[in-house]
Amino acid sequence: MSGHFKNLLDTIGLPPGTLVHVGDKKLEKSLITIFDYDVDNFSEHTAETIEESFSFRDKPSITWINIDGIQETEVIQKVQSHFHIHPLVVEDITNTQQRPKMEDYGDYMYFVLKMLYIDSDTGGIESEQVSLILGSNYVISFQETVGDIFDPIRDRIRNFKGRVRKTGADYLAYCLIDAVIDNYFVMLELLDQQIEKLEDDLIMNPRQELYEEVHQLKRDMIFIRRQIWPLRELISGLQRTESPLIKPETHVYLRDAYDHAIQVIDTIESFRDILGGLHDVYFTSISNKLNEVMKVLTVISTIFMPLTFIVGVYGMNFKHMPELEWWFAYPALWMIMIAITISMVAFFKSRKWI
């Protein structure tokens, strides 16, 4: 997983605002889809070039430009110059190592979000950056790859479901942010199942491999936490903003998104606590196993060492050992040895060692 930082260095030394795509180049060519709607009308189409979207900027209807793939820097550069975006914003869009944040540039607001999913191949947590630009009547969203988490929103726009068609661009932006947060719950539930399974396994049959899974999950939590923690600040800042871009009636929805974000963070903290407890369970368990093993060893040694000594005594070759001549010596010795064994066993039973 050395990759979490491996792209950080690519922009060092470049002047701020330089446009270099930093991240795994996931899509060769950007895919641009445009939704344009108001309460009465609705149009949707996939654009060949970014220029097709520019005509929508000055129309009063709400326009959502979704750009999947951020390695085509000329597309983003054109967006920048046409929508008068600050160079630093564009740098942040193309550098996928950002923390979630909100920045208010007056005419528009800029959001960085992190989508998290579990890679089905490796089982590891992967992160994808989603950038949003919210203008007075448009939203531009940037994703690293073609994703489906915004599909329900597309569906609502198309089919006039919910409030989205009746409200402004700020509500659309809220919907997109909320879709990202909702997506965390999918991941959290998978992690929850994984942790529960691990917990059961670890209590039933503690093994170092399982513990290494605990460690891996702890690392995942550290990673997830770093991606999600700033979200709290982002949405709370959004609630307190005085930007005219956010209409008063949207605030109640932001409060709802804030609640969801808190719930996600709470859950991650709980997972961390539970994983910490698993360490203790595992560790006491291997210590107990050691005790078990040592008891077996001690019981065996304590029974056989005296017996071996006794038979050793009568294996000596002294001339003058009267017992050796007695006809009842051998069976009597067996009696004695059986008595010793029984009393030893009784002693260990009383101590609950066996």
Name residues contacting its own copies, limited to 2-31 (CB under 8 A). 2, 4-6, 8-9, 11-18
| Sequential DSSP letters for 28-70 | SS-EEEEEEE-SS-EEEEEESSGGGGGGGGGSSSEEEEEEE--
Residue 19 C-beta: closest distance to its own copies, Å: 12
Residues that contact its own copies, how many (by CB under 8 A):
116
Of the candidate residues 67, 138, 183, 234, the single one contacting its own copies (CB under 8 A): 183
Of the candidate residues 29, 43, 74, 88, the single one contacting its own copies (CB under 8 A): 88
The Cα 72–Cα 176 span in angstroms is 23
| Planar angle of CA 206, 126, 235, nearest 5 degrees | 110
| Sequential DSSP letters for 87-155 | HHHHHHHHBTTPPPEEEE-SS-EEEEEEEEEE-TTT--EEEEEEEEEE-SSEEEEEESS--STTHHHHH
Of the candidate residues 42, 54, 105, 117, the single one contacting its own copies (CB under 8 A): 105
Span from 30-38, 54-62, 66-74, 318-326 in contact with its own copies (CB under 8 A): 318-326
Applying CB under 8 A, does 338 fall inside the site for its own copies?
Answer: no
Would you state the structure tokens that stand for residue 199, as one six-digit string? Answer: 């917990």
Span from 33-41, 124-132, 235-243, 257-265 in contact with its own copies (CB under 8 A): 257-265
Applying CB under 8 A, does 222 fall inside the site for its own copies?
Answer: yes
Q: Which is nearer to its own copies, 32 or 275 (CB)?
A: 275
Residue 48 C-beta: closest distance to its own copies, Å: 29
How many alpha carbons fall within 13 Å on the CB side of residue 39?
4
How many alpha carbons fall within 13 Å on the CB side of residue 215?
7
Applying CB under 8 A, does 321 fall inside the site for its own copies?
Answer: yes
Q: Which is nearer to its own copies, 6 or 82 (CB)?
A: 6
Q: Which is nearer to its own copies, 134 or 179 (CB)?
A: 179
Q: Which of residues 29-68 bind its own copies (CB under 8 A)?
A: none
Residue 180 C-beta: closest distance to its own copies, Å: 11
Applying CB under 8 A, does 262 fall inside the site for its own copies?
Answer: yes
Q: Which amino acid is at 237?
A: G
Applying CB under 8 A, does 122 fall inside the site for its own copies?
Answer: no
How many alpha carbons fall within 13 Å on the CB side of residue 114?
25
Residue 47 C-beta: closest distance to its own copies, Å: 25
* Residue whose tokens read 């019981």: 299
Span from 30-38, 138-146, 236-244, 266-274 in contact with its own copies (CB under 8 A): 266-274
CB 179 within 8 A of CB 150: yes
Q: Pick the closest to residue 111 from 139, 133, 79, 83 (CA basis).
A: 133
Applying CB under 8 A, does 259 fall inside the site for its own copies?
Answer: yes
Span from 47-55, 59-67, 74-82, 154-162 in contact with its own copies (CB under 8 A): 154-162
* Residue whose tokens read 């605002």: 17
Of the candidate residues 73, 236, 241, 285, the single one contacting its own copies (CB under 8 A): 285
The Cα 145–Cα 31 span in angstroms is 9
In the shown chain, the binding pattern of residues 287 to 316 toward its own copies, with x for contact by CB under 8 A and - for none, equals: xxxxx-xxxxxx-xxx-xxxxxx-xxxxxx
| Sequential DSSP letters for 62-103 | EEEEEEE----HHHHHHHHHHHT--HHHHHHHHBTTPPPEEE
Residue 33 C-beta: closest distance to its own copies, Å: 18
Span from 40-48, 126-134, 138-146, 211-219 in contact with its own copies (CB under 8 A): 211-219
Span from 68-76, 117-125, 181-189, 240-248 in contact with its own copies (CB under 8 A): 181-189
